[in-house]
Structure 1
């Protein structure tokens, strides 16, 4: 039995997510299932992606599409998808359903290392390691990562962002101070990438709330268009809140069910997996 949990210890390695379930938004495109892919003779650790979960059909399809893309990128690995909230299978069930004796690397498909990583997934990993002879490792969350900043820039190009626009980064928010600090790191990196100031607005748990951040930008820079960059993984309840916060333009989340998952995001997931296989001092 072996248990390794690698979660960010420095604020700049974290980002924030909330715990609110998501509601249906938009139409979904179906993707092939990613559960129960074959295990190679070398018994490489399974790559287990654990997402938040959502009741949004569009969000469900978008996250399933991400894991389908990961499975295509790593065809020799056993891949599985589970959830920490709203959807089934949950994380403990997903781990327990893996073939006996196959080690596992859990990759949180979350932009933060907040409550779901530090509590829910940590407990699930520890429980599986205690209940079986399986070696279980958990990686860092997906963000912050410069490839995610590049994705944010690509979404802004779709708006597009004009030279005199005000820019606000929308994040889910967290009561975890480490996660809040990490959100500020993401905003700073986006500011450098975009070459302009970036305000920060939270959707839950922390302040300023997004609607307030948008209002402040209008007061401080009257007459300018306010653009909100959505730092959310997929469509759902929080993306709906972003779109209702009063901005002139809002970017799409990092994943959409109507387009393939970005190779940048797929690479973040697979790199988290591979880094977990590399011993550290």
Structure 2
């Protein structure tokens, strides 16, 4: 018997990618969330490149839903696509995944897996955004990673506005000619942006947060917590919690 017959559906909404590896990586996270929440209808949705859209998924549901952005920071797609889907009756949007200490923990894990050493210089790479709120979020995560690894981590972008990663790396190399440069990839999955990061003049690039391996349990926890918090707030507002 289902102990939560009216629990809202979870619409896990990612950006979308044409990369088969990227698609598998994101679906791996969605599947892990589905296993963690066996009494919740977990659906995948995409704001670009892939289908279905979150609007389409929400329209096909018979009950309430929580749209959880599998995105690292707020920006255009959150303000437009996610907000539009969540404006349907009985729906609500959860915050993006970042910033959060669990993301930082996953980034540190990736750096260790890549063989990063204490003498290395670490630079963070982000896809970037023209949205100032998103930029502030990326900058906060760079500061959080700086604290976690005990060195200042400059931030560079491979898209949107902000300082290009190539320029950041060039400056770091000029100031640290005898040290390896390692890029911490603040990207959700393999694809166009990670390919651009990999082409930078650096010694090591960490893997994106999601790839062929099982999703980091911290990321699964983060998605589940975003859903639970938004669902509880939704219940409080409607009197169904």
Category of TM-score, reference length = shorter chain: over 0.9
Shift of residue 107 of structure 1? 0.2
Of 144, 157, 161 in structure 2, the residue corresponding to residue 206 of structure 1 is 161
Runs of 4+ in structure 1 displaced over 3 angstroms? none
Paired with 2:223 and 2:196, the residues of 1 have a C-alpha distance of 26
Shift of 1:182: 1.4
SS of 2:10's equivalent in the other structure is strand
Q: Could you state the TM-score of these two structures normalised by the residue count of structure 2?
A: 0.94
1:176–1:41 Cα change, 3 Å: closer
Aligned to 1:54, the other structure's residue is in SS state coil
Quote the residue 2:69 is aligned against: 108
Q: Tell me, what secondary structure is at the counterpart of 1:154?
A: helix
Render the CA deviation track for 1:66-96: whole Å, top value 9, x for unaligned: 0000000000111100100000111111111
Q: Deviations over 1:210-262 (max 9, x none)?
A: 111111100111121100000001000000011011111000000012x1111
Q: Specify every segment of 5 or more residues in structure 1 that has no aligned partner in the other structure, as ranges.
A: 1-38
Q: How does 1:162-173 map to 2 (within 5 A)?
A: 162-173=117-128
Determine the structure 2 residue equivalent to 1:54: 17
Using the TM superposition, give the Cα deviation of residue 41 of structure 1 relative to its aligned residue in structure 2, in angstroms: 6.0
Cα shift readout 1:174-210 (whole Å, capped 9, x = no counterpart)? 1111111111110110000001111110111222101
* Corresponding residue SS for 1:278: helix
1:77 aligned partner: 40
2:201 equivalent in structure 1:
246
Relative contact order (C-alpha < 8 Å, sep 6+): which is higher?
1
Query: How has the CA–CA distance of structure 1 residues 149 and 237 changed in structure 2, closer, same or farther, with 3 Å as cutoff?
Result: same
Q: Which residue of 1 aligns with 2:227?
A: 273
SS at the partner of 2:124?
A: strand
2:92 corresponds in structure 1 to 137
The 2-side partners of 1:121 and 1:106 are apart by 7
May I ask how many residue pairs the two structures share in their alignment? Answer: 235
- TM-score normalised to structure 1 length: 0.81
Measured on the aligned residues, the alpha-carbon RMSD in Å equals: 1.6
Residue aligned with 2:129, SS:
coil
Find the aligned partners of 1:271 and 1:207 in 2 and give their Cα distance.
30
Helix, strand or coil at the partner of 2:232: coil
1:9-48 equivalence runs, <5 A? 42-48=5-11
Between Structure 1 and Structure 2, the one with more helix by share is 2
Work out whether residues 156 and 162 of structure 2, in 8 Å CA contact, stay in contact via their aligned partners in 1: yes
Which residue matches 2:51?
Answer: 88
Per-residue deviation, 1:122: 1.0
Summarize deviations over 1:34-86 as a string: whole Å, max 9, x none. xxxxx876211001101100000000001111000000000011110010000
Query: Residue 27 of structure 1 corresponds to which residue in structure 2?
Result: none
